[in-house]
A and B are shown apart, each in its own frame.
Chain A
Amino acid sequence: MSALSSAVRPLGPTASRLGRRHAWTAAVVVFFALLLTWNSSQTRNFGAFEIQTLLASTLALAYLAMAQAVVVIGGGIDLSVGSLLVLANCLSARFMEGTSFGGSALVAVAVLAVIAALGALTGLVISVSKIPDIIVTLATSFVWGGAALFVLRTPGGGAAPEFQTLVLGSGNAWWPALLCLLAPLLLVWAPLRRSRAGIAIYALGSSKDAAFLSGVDPLRTKVIAYAVSGLLCGLAGIATTAFTGGGSSQSTIAMNATLNSVAAIVLGGVALSGGVGGLIGPVFAVWCLYLIPNIMLGLGVDPSYGEVVKGVVVVLVVLVGGQLRLRRSRSP
């Protein structure tokens, strides 16, 4: 064996390789743990109630960040996730109002099906028209926003209280919200991630050419990614209904939610260029972004500075991440 080929053989032990692949997620988890410790030291009797509040108030955005992550991993970007959330919120609030628990659950399933179908449609339009994702989803964000207004002109609607409790928990019961969050991860994403279709999403985002040469069907993969994303948007809308006990079609909600979802995935280790990242990182990033204003409040700083800190953190993370990647590609 010549020196040349032994030099090109990878020698890294498994541990360092695993570390490299999940370094970002690990960093976000550690960051979250630090923030949580900090926050808990500020609050007297920090406990189950605070955890329940954290989980319940971030559930919708966590779903939405996951929705954005799936699309971005597949090499796209979805500016309509916020509008889909609002549409799902309005649909579910309108039709759940005055229903029993069973009725609410049935409505939830129907809403999920509709929103997932709309997501799939978006993916289909992008693939067929060859218009950049960002333009198509900009356009559909108007359309879904308008549709939400049709459904619910003024804030209102409602949901069965039992249904709300089941989704979010109440008082000290923090586990329902956590279970709801884990459900799509375990039931949808985990199996998909292991299947050929899920790998194809990563492949398409990583390298279109290599994916095509490997036999990935770009249209089918795009549609699947957007359908899963739509499903998660639907969940986000229903979680909003459960959290607020109603629906609102205000367009600023949609836009803020979309912008927050992009910030969360970037912080959570999903590369905007596609192919890299997962759904766990973005969820932890959402929790981090939730804790920052809380901590500032605890420090006696105006929590509105939280927005500033969020913005700076997101930009810095992308900047440092980008520079690190540049350096690594220069000195392989």
Chain B
Amino acid sequence: MTNSEPLLRARGVAKRYGSVVALRSVDLAVAPGEIHALVGANGAGKSTLVRILSGVIRPDAGEVEVAGKAVRFRSPAHARDTGLAPVFQDPAFAPDLTVAENLRLTTTDAGAFRRQLAALGLDDVELAEAAGMLPLPLLRMLDLARVLAHDPALLLLDEITAALPADYAERVFEAIRRARDEGRSVLFISHRLLEVQEVCDRVTVLRDGSNVDTLNTADGSEQRIVAAMLGERAALAVTEPRKVAPRTHREPGEPALVVRGISDGRRVRDVSLTLAPGEVLGITGLEGQGQDELFAILAGDRKAGGGEIVVNGEQLVARHPHEAIAHGLTLVPSDRWQALLPQRSVRENLAVPLYNAPGRWGWIHADRELHQVADAIARLSIDTRAQAQAKRLSGGNQQKVAIGRWLVGGFTTLLCFDPTRGIDVGTKHQIYDLFRELAAAGKSVLMFTSELREVPLACDRVLVLYDGRIVAELPAADADEATLLSSAHGLADTLTESR
């Protein structure tokens, strides 16, 4: 398989955004007629690589060859003409145009598109419908059909199966295999290792912006993939002497947060949990299992359809985040761009909660503010060299600012959504330490994390979310990655075995 000339070859591809390195240096080779998987943890650089290979962004360094010829993509259209066709998680359909008009835009032949649709088992799609009116999974299928209609040499599929109904996912796999049989190559990006094992021929593993391993899936080397994704455990041990967080002494009495039977009618189904004062409770799960919605409901940013939330013994019905905040329930959102004021200084970013109500719109006590802000900066060791504008900080420091805001504003329970996504190991451990410190002071932390190895380092206890429900609860000491992974995939029998 590898002796033939590769269809796509990337050498030393690198990309940085300001101070954040998205891709350090990636080499990749995809053979003709091969289904090649690209896997890696969050922030490993998968999406950046796909965006480079599909002409959306240009690399800072490195070169890309297609069928032995060096190419520099000017635009997505150029990449498509070269034979590289992407399907993104967010389908490239202008929402206000009809499907037919979107096809005109990409000069897609309607007949070929119809044939591909039929092959995907979707015969009765109305092309005169506005794309924005169609459900997302269907739209992604249409995107796939459109890409196939262009007769590409290489398909780039970025998380195409995320939040896709099972029967659609199965049809995607069929289409991928069919494409291979027709001599096309596929670059398949996925979080789901089971899929990768089942569908792909070879796997390249990315970690921290570099390719760290390439192997044949036929060897059944799941362990090796996981090990490559996670990287050197020894390095962790050096920076973090204790591998398991010490169990904090839980104070008896009233829980800090009780959630009973919360649903939103769509993604969150009957979630109940209890959080004690001084506890760090982890929640984990694959992408799109309802975690975003659950945290939004708890933070008062989204209405719950049923159930109740009790904070420190008081019932909370929030129509706006300020009501949750008044109860001491504060959110650090997953996306830092939902937390930061990018053009304002670190100081102003940290001090926002001090002025969030008309009663606090008066004179700023500069010294008091400075003191509180400096305290947060010191506790989180925020690097203040680039503090004039928050957008110039590194990702880790931005995350610290998002958390530090609530050290300034005050809270009793901190809701933290994937607080360590895409930041370096040292900063991660500073954040874990902060959580332990907060817990020791009697505060509570509820954190969602997509990085399973984080769980024993930061949490006392962990819940696993699958399809909007909590499917497992484990003390952190028992929460090894294999157990968490299998419950996160909804494999209940593995779960009972491990119990």
Whether both chains belong to one complex is answered with yes
State the A residues within 8 Å of B (CB). 1-2, 4-5, 8-10, 12, 14, 17, 21, 196, 199-200, 202-203, 205-207, 209-217, 275-276
Which one of A4, A213, A214, A215 has the greatest number of beta carbons of chain B within 10 Å? A213
Pick out which of these stretches binds chain A: B73-81, B345-353, B386-394, B447-455. Answer: B73-81
**Apart from the given pairs A199-B105, A213-B88, 9 other A-B contacts in the complex at a CB distance below 8 Å:** A8-B138, A196-B105, A202-B94, A203-B105, A206-B97, A211-B94, A213-B76, A214-B76, A215-B106
Which one of A21, A203, A275, A276 has the greatest number of beta carbons of chain B within 10 Å? A203
A199-B97 in contact (CB<8A): yes
Q: Min CB distance, B33 to chain A, in Å? A: 26
Q: Knowing A9-B124, A206-B94, A206-B97 touch, does A196 contact B75 (C-beta < 8 A)?
A: no
Residues of B within 8 A of A216 (CB): 105
Residues of B within 8 A of A199 (CB): 97, 101, 104-105
Q: Knowing A1-B167, A275-B94 touch, does A211 contact B105 (C-beta < 8 A)?
A: yes
Q: Min CB distance, A156 to chain B, in Å? A: 45
Which one of A14, A206, A207, A214 has the greatest number of beta carbons of chain B within 10 Å? A214
Chain B minimum-CB-distance residue to A4:
B165
Residues of A within 8 A of B167 (CB): 1-2, 4-5
Q: Min CB distance, A202 to chain B, in Å? A: 6
B130-A214 in contact (CB<8A): no
A215-B101 in contact (CB<8A): no
| Residue B246 lies at the interface, judged by CB distance under 8 Å to chain A | no
A207-B94 in contact (CB<8A): yes
B166-A203 in contact (CB<8A): no
Residues of A within 8 A of B105 (CB): 196, 199-200, 203, 211, 214-216
Q: Min CB distance, A273 to chain B, in Å? A: 9
Residues of A within 8 A of B91 (CB): 210
Secondary structure of the A contact surface, majority rule: helix
Give me 24 A-to-B residue pairs in the complex whose CB atoms sit less than 8 angstroms apart, sorted by A's number: A1-B167, A10-B126, A17-B126, A17-B129, A199-B97, A199-B104, A199-B105, A202-B94, A203-B94, A203-B97, A203-B101, A203-B105, A206-B94, A206-B95, A206-B132, A207-B94, A210-B93, A210-B95, A212-B56, A214-B77, A214-B105, A215-B77, A215-B105, A216-B105
A8-B137 in contact (CB<8A): yes
A202-B135 in contact (CB<8A): no
A9-B138 in contact (CB<8A): yes
Q: Min CB distance, B388 to chain A, in Å? A: 22
The contact of B76 among A12, A14, A212, by CB within 8 Å, is A212
Residues of B within 8 A of A202 (CB): 94, 96-97, 101
| Residue B411 lies at the interface, judged by CB distance under 8 Å to chain A | no
- Bound together, the chains give a CA A254 to CA B77 distance in angstroms of 41
Residues of B within 8 A of A206 (CB): 94-97, 132
| Contact digits for B123-167, partner A, Cβ 8 Å, 1 yes 0 no | 011101110111101100000000000000000000000000111
A5-B168 in contact (CB<8A): yes
B129-A10 in contact (CB<8A): yes
- Bound together, the chains give a CA A8 to CA B163 distance in angstroms of 13
Residues of A within 8 A of B134 (CB): 10
B56-A213 in contact (CB<8A): yes
The contact of A2 among B93, B94, B133, B166, by CB within 8 Å, is B166
| Residue B102 lies at the interface, judged by CB distance under 8 Å to chain A | yes
| Residue B107 lies at the interface, judged by CB distance under 8 Å to chain A | yes
- Bound together, the chains give a CA A276 to CA B101 distance in angstroms of 13
Which one of B105, B126, B168 has the greatest number of beta carbons of chain A within 10 Å? B105
Q: Min CB distance, B306 to chain A, in Å? A: 16
| Contact digits for B89-125, partner A, Cβ 8 Å, 1 yes 0 no | 0111111110001101111000000000000010011
Chain B minimum-CB-distance residue to A217:
B75
- Bound together, the chains give a CA A276 to CA B97 distance in angstroms of 8
Residues of B within 8 A of A275 (CB): 94-97
The contact of A210 among B75, B94, B104, B128, by CB within 8 Å, is B94
- Please provide the chain B residues from 186 to 231 with a CB less than 8 Å away from any CB of chain A in the complex: none
Q: Min CB distance, A83 to chain B, in Å? A: 29
- Bound together, the chains give a CA A191 to CA B132 distance in angstroms of 25
B96-A4 in contact (CB<8A): no
Q: Min CB distance, A18 to chain B, in Å? A: 8
Chain A minimum-CB-distance residue to B101:
A199
- Bound together, the chains give a CA A12 to CA B125 distance in angstroms of 11
Residues of B within 8 A of A1 (CB): 121, 167
Q: Min CB distance, A79 to chain B, in Å? A: 24
Which one of B75, B93, B94, B137 has the greatest number of beta carbons of chain A within 10 Å? B94
- Bound together, the chains give a CA A206 to CA B92 distance in angstroms of 11
- Bound together, the chains give a CA A10 to CA B77 distance in angstroms of 29
- Bound together, the chains give a CA A207 to CA B75 distance in angstroms of 16
Residues of A within 8 A of B106 (CB): 214-215
Q: Knowing A2-B165, A202-B94, A214-B105 touch, does A10 contact B133 (C-beta < 8 A)?
A: yes
